[in-house]
A and B are shown apart, each in its own frame.
Chain A
Amino acid sequence: MTNPTQGDQLADLLRGDADELIRRWVGLAASSLRGRMTEAELDRELREFFAVLVDALSTGSRDIKDDAYADARVLLEELSRTRARLGFSPSETAVGVFALKRAVFELIERRGNDGFREVIALSSLLDDLGLWTFEFYSRTREEIITEQSEQLLELTTPVVKLWDGVLAVPLVGTLDSARTQVVMEKLLEALVESGAEQAIIDITGVLAVDTQVAQHLLKTVMAARLMGAECTISGIRPQIAQTIVGLGIEFGDITTKASLADALLHALRRAGVDVVRRRNQAV
């Protein structure tokens, strides 16, 4: 959105020495990225940003929240997002903006200090834009972290088939409420898909549970029952048993077994399978 009639000083200043500025800017940015991006790539990216920035400045506005800066903001958001995904650090990401400041200062210095006031304005504007990149950078990082923890959840909570009609989820590590909920849903879905009527939740590898987690386990068992399947919880360590009792949680008529092996035997029996050891077989 250009407004040529207004003749903005700052925009004119940048436009006047555009090539020199951009060259210096790209150089500064490239050196702090130490080869993680080529100068050609940077040149293309920064040139595009330069163009929309100058357009915005020439409207006379100095507030990055203004409509005039919409394109600039979008470009920076994209830039932050790709940098974050590529594993750049926050400063490697923001340097793209801050390096322009240095390039402009150097230019002014060489020229004598006319336009000092304008440069201060530009400086704080670039600070704001820099913060904007930070903001989007960290937002993207958060997204990445959430995605990864969800992927990890998928990986760490496999539902395995132990026998025809018997499924198990061996849980390992720390159970939090979110993870327990994922397990719950996954197990119930697996019951529908496989038609298994027996499920075992094995918590031998679980170090601790809190009230919420214990409640979720209970609810899983109850939901499975509503669907027509039976759930056994196995491998409750003594400490966890104490927690459960201490918390006053009623495990009621839910079947619990000391070990996964016991639970499997129980589930098989319920499924109508008898396990018999041959008499002539040595133990």
Chain B
Amino acid sequence: MERVPILKIGDVLLVSIQVDLEDQSVVALQEDLAERISSTGAHGVVIDISAVEIVDSFIGRMFATIASISRLFDADTVVVGMRPAVAITLVELGLTLGEVRTALDLEKGLAVLRRLGADREVRIEVDEDDEPVQAFS
């Protein structure tokens, strides 16, 4: 079984899917990612699928699940590089990606995370002004 490597760059976890994954590998990746999100306190997950030729409901569900899990840890998930043929097919299949964000490529995906991160900081500042802080790390 293939195991997809997860890279950590700054506070972002990066996964690049390069091969046609069997279901077990998808499940393993989902578990590994969930574990890494909780253990590293990463603020974002980027899943690069620019090399992926098909996304079916099994992989699609994985994206949505990862996004939900990362929300629990106040992190965002961005799927980047989806090919047009894959996107058209997913729409026809009827799949929606829930809380997953999307971007055209890796660079734009990281920009999305930065933007969301900036929003987060602003939100915290406003909270601090309103009432004395209870600081979380």
Contacts and interface: CB of A to CB of B under 8 A. Distances in A.
A contacts B: CB pair < 8 Å:
yes
B46 to A, nearest CB: 11
A228 B104 contact: yes
B82 interface: yes
A228 B91 contact: no
Interface string A61-85: 0000000000000000000000000
Range, interface on chain A: 10 to 19
Interface stretch (A4-12, A128-136, A182-190): A182-190
B91 A227 contact: no
A228 B80 contact: yes
A interface, over-half SS: helix
B87 A227 contact: yes
Contacts of A229: 104
B107 to A, nearest CB: 9
B102 interface: yes
Nearest to B82: A227
A158 interface: no
Contacts of B88: 184-185, 188, 219, 223
A267 B108 CA distance: 17
B15 interface: no
Given A192-B84, A228-B82, A222 B104 contact: no
A228 B83 contact: no
Contact of A197 (B83, B87, B90, B108): B108
Range, interface on chain B: 10 to 19
A230 to B, nearest CB: 10
Interface string B101-125: 1111100110010000000000000
Contacts, number: 51
Contacts of A191: 84, 104
A226 interface: yes
B115 to A, nearest CB: 10
Interface in A212-241: 219, 222-229
B64 interface: no
Contacts of B103: 228
Interface string B71-113: 0000000001011110110111000010001111100110010
Contact of B104 (A184, A185, A192): A192
Contacts of B80: 228
A192 B91 contact: no
B104 A226 contact: no
A183 B102 CA distance: 22
Contacts of A223: 84, 87-88, 90-91
Contacts of A188: 84, 87-88
A225 B105 contact: no
A173 interface: no
Interface of A: 184-185, 188-189, 191-192, 195, 197, 219, 222-229
20 contacts: A184-B88, A185-B84, A185-B85, A185-B88, A188-B87, A188-B88, A192-B84, A192-B104, A197-B104, A219-B92, A223-B88, A226-B82, A226-B87, A226-B91, A226-B102, A228-B80, A228-B101, A228-B102, A228-B108, A229-B104
State the 3 A-B residue pairs at the shortest beta-carbon distance, nearest first.
A188-B84, A228-B103, A223-B87
Given A185-B88, A219-B92, A226-B97, 9 more contacts: A188-B88, A195-B104, A219-B91, A223-B88, A223-B91, A227-B102, A228-B82, A228-B102, A228-B103
